[in-house]
Structure 1
């Protein structure tokens, strides 16, 4: 994801500036009595899930090598990890979901995109009335829907002129949406609800919009304000449905820098917080959402869907292979209770406190982190066990990003013992070898792990999650998973 330092103009003195990504990972959001009761009679909703590499994005970095990409992944993931660890210091709060079964669902296409050589996955989202289309990063660690926006230009508004402020990006034009409503800075929404999303605490005029300002690590900054609008989604029966009163972030201007020069339109928050898109959609679609990430090296012709509600297409094929584990209650992250890691069937000697979510450890599933990050004791054990099986291959000098790389001439995946993540309730996740012995350059492979120094979460990133269906049940606080090619 995109690295950033988050700050709010004219914020209270006690609000610190933190190194984070542009996924709005902020202070813990308390969620009490969250009503996820759904509506009847709606059909499946889904959107296409697209990898960042897809050539539909206006990115001018297609000449980057795979190794340069890996270095960028590692740099962004490290900064993102720092932010996640800082937020973990807050208290955990339970989610009081009202459990009520629903058969409704919708789907959104999600797709891989090696052609852009960057590590995120995207969905196309339609916002406003009439709708305007944007490509947003699908992020299970993010609270908010955010996209580029140009407000206050009246009849002079145009997409072309909007791009003069936010170069080479699609721009939302609020004046063209009949359902767009600013969040006033004097409102309870701004002063109470959005305070955890770093809304500005100053309000010169009661009708002024509720503002935010984000400063990135490379000194680029995004400025905007909060609003309400509708998001239009497609049902499986071909009809459309509008999700109303969605809290959105309208970013009006960005000071350019390497961080924001990737042609992205914004972020689709899929976290466990009450203002995320996932939870808002769950209110109407049965409390479930799922995704299947195609191989991160897949071309644009391969795609899958981000689905809300039951997904009969996947579930019919994979039902007998599905494994289930409980989600551990956290503020916004989808944490799982890991018992340990085995290599080649042998459990590694990793201290139990590494996996204790309610202590100084724990493990989360994060679609916005590319590589897998392990707490140092787990990292050292996993690297030592895997490296032992790779000693017959020529060791290459350590890269800036990854510790163990080797010459892949004659490499045979069957020579690598299988890694498995064991959950405390008996489920086991066994990713394919290519998800942790990853391509780094032509003829080169690397072990795709980063170490986490100090206490904090371990993170199962999107490369490790690829080629599996993941279904999150917010009502039951569970996640189910199964191997899949993810190719429809």
Structure 2
């Protein structure tokens, strides 16, 4: 599972599909980095704490190396069109878009989006996370009038009783007992036709309880028409706890899994999904996007796309990459090769749900040492921001003073983020090196702040990750 510092998505509606259109969703960032210094520092502390818990959970998965899960997902990655609920042909090579805004008004480290589910479609706002595989929403199941539905949910809920396409998964089914075990299905089954229940836990301590169902998700295409995915596994949650859900109705699972919405939708829209994250300091009227299908159909400007292997099924449901090393100022750092070895107890993932970039100790120490050298002229500050250990008075700071950091991949691709993505604002007049340390052995994580102002394409069909500089418009 995952912590939910991630992406929120809003799905707009569409019908049968023709041509080369697709789906583009607006992403809204939830972390307000514009308030007073005290509030900003406190939110950074919360982000850092959540990231630390999330990364520990990822590292446990690295050590476990769930080989059985890897084989299962690889074998069942794409279902035939007649089984994946796609009706009205021609959608397989379509694409579409949703916009993303900075979530400065919501007070957490996430990007936000809207989605439409059910028949007729109802709007919900979800946190979409590349480290989660269950898509769920606050939900009312079997409402029998105003009294039974009540006002337990103070926010928007999905009314399952009003959807003609809502079908629960029986608790007596093999799917419930076996296939959904990794999604925390429960063993209780009062009668064979009762719904399959879950107690879905996230690594930050958040949790949600509900029932599994198959439902219809509706997409709005760039040609103005509608596309529906039928029989999508969703969670109907009657309760949820955790700070991660404060501004959301639920979560969209974009991880790599048989039951992930990302995998299901990618199979319909050309085998890929992508997103572009605006600067986390952007005002809320600046948008970025989540796209199912080709970005070339939705007018996103990208400068020089680069590609590297996307390693699927090794640390489910996360997306792993083969890293060769890190250079700072053109000099390769002395980092042991095993730190990046996915076949052992190392490796790296690209994760929308982690805010900071987290490096295991053998990589963290040389990276921090190399960057600190260029900051010796600034007064170091003793601030309590969890794992952000190096902060300084930024009066007179110029990004040109900092040597460029480059992430090198085994196949020769290079990712060179702007300095502002790793020397980050912490408060007025205060900047910090935006890296956190993780225990070794374990995984390193490229977080969403380092990913900003870049377009990222997860090509599941070709096991390829593409990225390029972009303004996200």
Provide TM-score, normalisation by structure 1. 0.85
Q: Is the 8 A contact 2:4 2:244 kept in 1?
A: no
Unaligned runs of 5+ in 1: 1-5, 7-19, 25-38, 55-60
2:65 to 90, 95, 104: 90
Instruction: Verify: 1:165 aligned to 2:152, yes or no.
Output: yes
Matches of 1:178 and 1:451, distance apart in 2: 49
Q: Is the 8 A contact 2:222 2:298 kept in 1?
A: no
SS of the residue 1:380 aligns to? helix
Matches of 2:449 and 2:4, distance apart in 1: 20
Instruction: Verify: 1:111 aligned to 2:94, yes or no.
Output: no
1:151 to 141, 145, 168: 141
SS of the residue 1:65 aligns to? helix
Structure-1 residue corresponding to 2:252 = 268
- Report deviation, 1:103: 2.7
- Report deviation, 1:40: 7.1
Structure-1 residue corresponding to 2:336 = 351
Q: Is the 8 A contact 1:146 1:249 kept in 2?
A: yes
Matches of 2:206 and 2:306, distance apart in 1: 43
Aligned ranges 1:459-478 → 2 under 5 Å: 459-478=445-464
Label 1:72 to 1:286 Cα distance change in 2 as closer, same or farther (>3 A).
same
- Report deviation, 1:140: 0.8
Structure-1 residue corresponding to 2:405 = 419
Structure-2 residue corresponding to 1:395 = 380
SS of the residue 1:190 aligns to? helix
Structure-2 residue corresponding to 1:236 = 222
1:340 to 300, 322, 325: 325
Matches of 1:439 and 1:40, distance apart in 2: 46
Label 1:314 to 1:337 Cα distance change in 2 as closer, same or farther (>3 A).
farther
Matches of 2:468 and 2:298, distance apart in 1: 10
SS of the residue 2:246 aligns to? coil
Label 1:198 to 1:23 Cα distance change in 2 as closer, same or farther (>3 A).
farther
Instruction: Verify: 1:123 aligned to 2:101, yes or no.
Output: no
Instruction: Verify: 1:135 aligned to 2:125, yes or no.
Output: yes
Report how many aligned residue pairs link the two structures: 443
2:307 to 285, 309, 324: 324
SS of the residue 2:120 aligns to? coil
Structure-2 residue corresponding to 1:75 = 49
Instruction: Verify: 1:285 aligned to 2:263, yes or no.
Output: no
- Report deviation, 1:53: 4.2
Q: Is the 8 A contact 2:380 2:390 kept in 1?
A: yes
Matches of 1:375 and 1:66, distance apart in 2: 26
Deviations 1:462-481 (A, max 9, x none): 00000000011111100110
- Report deviation, 1:21: 2.9
Matches of 1:199 and 1:272, distance apart in 2: 18
Q: Is the 8 A contact 2:31 2:104 kept in 1?
A: yes
SS of the residue 2:213 aligns to? strand
- Report deviation, 1:398: 3.8
Q: Is the 8 A contact 2:37 2:427 kept in 1?
A: no
Label 1:279 to 1:221 Cα distance change in 2 as closer, same or farther (>3 A).
closer
Structure-1 residue corresponding to 2:23 = 45
2:368 to 383, 390, 415: 383
Q: Is the 8 A contact 2:172 2:193 kept in 1?
A: yes
Q: Is the 8 A contact 1:40 1:103 kept in 2?
A: no
SS of the residue 2:158 aligns to? coil
RMSD: 2.7
Label 1:405 to 1:314 Cα distance change in 2 as closer, same or farther (>3 A).
farther
- Report deviation, 1:316: 7.3
SS of the residue 1:438 aligns to? strand
